[in-house]
Amino acid sequence: MLIEFTSRHFHAPDNVRSYAEQEVQRLHKVFNRITQCQIILLHENNKYTAELNLSMPSHKLNVKETTDNATKSINRAVNKMRVRVRKVKDKMITH
């Protein structure tokens, strides 16, 4: 899986970057046909927004979460994406 990390309006520390990449790697355990994941971390008005754009065969999924903490935003976005990936996987298996 190809992972791209982008931080906008601030310089993300290396530990936040590696944390985001580790969390996204856990999605690959749910469905191993994920080809690409783009992580965008925004900082505006003392709020952090984590946006995940995930690509898999014949599907593109997007999730966005905003909180006052960068790691909390990443956690919530990954959890939301995990639910969506499971739904897509179940639909692929049943059809």
The pLDDT tens digits for 33-84 are 999 999 999 999 999 999 999 999 889 999 999 999 999 999 999 999 999 9
Instruction: List Cβ neighbours of 31 (8 Å cut-off, separation of 6 or more).
Output: 56, 85, 86, 88, 89
Structure confidence at residue 10 as a pLDDT band (50, 70, 90): very high
Please give the biggest Cα pair distance in the chain.
44
pTM confidence score:
0.92
Tokens matching residue 54: 């995930």
How far apart are alpha carbons 33 and 84 in whole angstroms? 14
| Residue whose tokens read 């965008």 | 40
| In the predicted structure, residue 9 carries a pLDDT above the cut 80 | yes
Report pLDDT for 93.
83
Measured between alpha carbons, how far is 49 from 74 in angstroms, rounded to an integer? Answer: 8
The H-assigned helical ranges of the chain are 14-30, 70-94
pLDDT band at 94 (very low <50, low <70, confident <90, very high): confident
